[in-house]
């Protein structure tokens, strides 16, 4: 029995990664609990594990007293002296109990406790395994679908790909192998939840790191990404080597690098008319990042030209961008997409104004300021002067 116990501990440690001390603790607590159920108390019970033999031993501790009120906790001096003449009142004597009397109940309880510890330990291991991949791209296999999620098998568990984390219009079949971005890993009593995305801006960034050597080695740094998945993405980049063009490196000769990046997530949608899957076009604009916020915003509004970038005195993260009249719609973009992406890319709230609109607003402000000054001057000139009786007398 003892050899079997030690072998079981070894297997649990090596194969299930369950700490031996945790198992011993579970058995000890189960033996105490079983002892209490049988005898009504466990305060006097001491459980020890013999590391060499692999045996559990249960002892009860009884105090030597004149008069015994509870034989489970006390022993008379007379009976104690019959064991050894050295015992005195107040001494504590240990008696070994037979585990067989309550061992069956304890074994069942220990099994349940060990299984719970095993489940908890396995959750911890799985959580730690996937937590280290948070913020990275993993490859998985589409397993199944329900109304809320596509479940993607990442190896040891199914990750959850929600509708909002999918590229709009793309469709999958079971057993499709896809790239996903791990953006959140949760550990809870029911298990480990891994949430993945294909629409997340960081998805594009991580693919670029994998596909473009200069990004991977840090020569070209991706400073920020704003994305409306399946349609358009803006990427702000800078070079740490004066001899390397950041934008040219990201785009590649003839757009080769951008094509490699897009091919990695190859979004497709089902054409309703033909019933054929066709590519979902996602344009990637590469923007030069600069430290000066005005120039950065200027770059981010591209392809539209910009006349001025003006910052709000009362709000450090708000800017007004003035563009030529004929570039207003281009600066704003279809359904406001261009300015929205530029705002996310730069971190500024951006108001777009045409040159004519801006000049009209400035003229209104100037006119209002002039009227205010005139009103103040008139008010001063027409203010009644109070003359006291003393002043009139002195004047006479």
User: pLDDT tens digits for 120-140?
Assistant: 878 888 899 999 999 999 999
Lowest-confidence segment of 141-155, 281-295, 329-343, 370-384 by average pLDDT = 370-384
Q: Write down the CATH number for the domain with range 290-396.
A: 3.30.300.20
Hey, which of 10-19, 48-57, 243-252 has the most confident mean pLDDT?
243-252
2-126 matches 290-396 in fold:
no
pLDDT surpasses 60 at 374: no
Comparing 72 with 267, which gets the higher pLDDT?
Answer: 72
pLDDT surpasses 80 at 388: no
Give strand pairing partners of 162.
149
The DSSP letter of residue 386 is P
pLDDT surpasses 60 at 274: yes
Lowest-confidence segment of 269-273, 349-353, 377-381 by average pLDDT = 377-381
pLDDT surpasses 80 at 384: no
User: What pLDDT digit, counting tens, does each position of 220-235 carry?
Assistant: 999 999 999 988 999 9
pLDDT surpasses 80 at 251: yes
pLDDT at 127: 92
d(CA 217, CA 292): 25
| Residue ranges covered by each domain of the chain | 2-126, 136-285, 290-396
What is the pTM for the complete model shown? 0.69
**For residue 357, how far is the Cα from the chain centroid?**
43
Q: Is the dihedral of CA 376, 381, 385, 391 positive or negative?
A: positive
d(CA 200, CA 344): 13
Contacts of 247 (CB under 8 A, 6+ apart): 237, 286, 287, 288
Strands 349-354 and 318-323: parallel
Burial class (CB in 10 A: 0-12, 13-18, 19+), 46: middle
pLDDT surpasses 80 at 64: yes
Options 3.40.50.150, 3.40.50.2000, 3.30.1480.10, 3.40.190.10; CATH of 2-126: 3.30.1480.10
pLDDT at 1: 45
Lowest-confidence segment of 31-45, 56-70, 181-195, 335-349 by average pLDDT = 31-45
Q: Cβ distance 324 to 305 under 8 Å?
A: yes
Q: Across the chain, what does the average pLDDT equal?
A: 84
Tokens 């479940």 — which residue?
151
pLDDT at 288: 97
Task: Give the CA distances from residue 265 to residues 75, 135, 204, 280, 313, in Å, rounded to whole numbers and listed in that order.
Answer: 78, 17, 9, 10, 43
pLDDT at 105: 66
What would the mean pLDDT of 9-13 be, rounded to a whole number? Answer: 73
pLDDT surpasses 50 at 73: yes
Percent of the chain clearing pLDDT 70 (strictly above): 82
Lowest-confidence segment of 17-21, 44-48, 108-112, 355-359 by average pLDDT = 108-112
Q: Cβ distance 331 to 276 under 8 Å?
A: no
Options 3.10.105.10, 2.40.128.690, 3.30.300.20, 3.40.630.30; CATH of 136-285: 3.30.300.20
Q: Cβ distance 350 to 342 under 8 Å?
A: yes
d(CA 203, CA 181): 6
Task: Give the CA distances from residue 8 to residues 49, 53, 103, in Å, rounded to whole numbers and listed in that order.
Answer: 15, 13, 18
What would the mean pLDDT of 278-304 be, rounded to a whole number? Answer: 90
pLDDT at 153: 96
* Sheet of 349-354, strand order: 308-311, 318-323, 349-354
pLDDT surpasses 80 at 278: no
């Amino acid at each position: 029995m003892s050899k079997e116990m030690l072998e079981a501990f070894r297997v649990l440690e090596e194969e299930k990664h369950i700490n031996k001390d945790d198992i011993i603790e579970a058995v000890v607590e189960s033996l105490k609990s079983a002892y209490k159920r049988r005898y009504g108390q466990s305060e006097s019970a001491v459980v020890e594990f013999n590391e060499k033999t692999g045996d559990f031993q249960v002892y009860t501790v009884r105090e030597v007293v004149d008069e015994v009120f509870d034989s489970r906790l006390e022993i008379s001096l007379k009976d104690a002296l019959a064991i050894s003449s050295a015992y005195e009142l107040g001494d504590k004597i240990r008696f070994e109990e037979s585990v067989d009397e309550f061992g069956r109940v304890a074994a069942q309880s220990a099994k349940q406790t060990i299984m719970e510890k095993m489940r908890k330990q396995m959750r911890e291991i799985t959580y730690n395994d996937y937590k280290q991949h948070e913020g990275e791209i993993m490859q998985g296999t589409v397993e199944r679908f329900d109304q809320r999620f596509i479940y993607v098998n990442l190896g040891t568990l199914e990750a959850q790909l929600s509708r909002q984390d999918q590229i709009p219009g793309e469709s999958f079949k079971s057993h499709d192998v896809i790239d996903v971005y791990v953006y959140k890993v949760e550990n809870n009593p029911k298990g480990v939840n891994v949430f993945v995305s294909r629409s997340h801006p960081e998805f594009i960034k991580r693919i670029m790191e994998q596909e473009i050597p200069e990004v991977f080695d840090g020569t070209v740094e991706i400073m920020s990404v704003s994305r409306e998945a399946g349609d358009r993405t803006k990427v702000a980049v800078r070079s740490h080597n004066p001899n390397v063009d950041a934008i040219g490196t990201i785009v590649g000769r003839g757009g080769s690098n951008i094509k490699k990046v897009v091919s990695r997530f190859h979004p497709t949608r089902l054409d309703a008319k033909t019933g054929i899957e066709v590519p979902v076009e996602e344009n990637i604009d590469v923007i030069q990042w600069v430290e000066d916020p005005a120039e950065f915003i200027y770059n981010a509004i591209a392809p539209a030209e910009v006349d001025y970038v003006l910052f709000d005195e009362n709000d450090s993260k708000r800017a007004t961008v003035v563009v030529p009249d004929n570039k207003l719609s281009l600066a704003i973009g279809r359904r406001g997409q261009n300015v929205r992406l530029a705002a996310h890319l730069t971190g500024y709230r951006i108001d777009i104004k045409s040159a004519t609109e801006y000049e009209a607003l400035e003229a209104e402000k100037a006119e209002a300021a002039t009227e205010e000054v005139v009103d103040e001057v008139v008010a001063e000139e027409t203010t009644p002067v109070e003359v006291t009786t003393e002043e009139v007398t002195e004047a006479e």
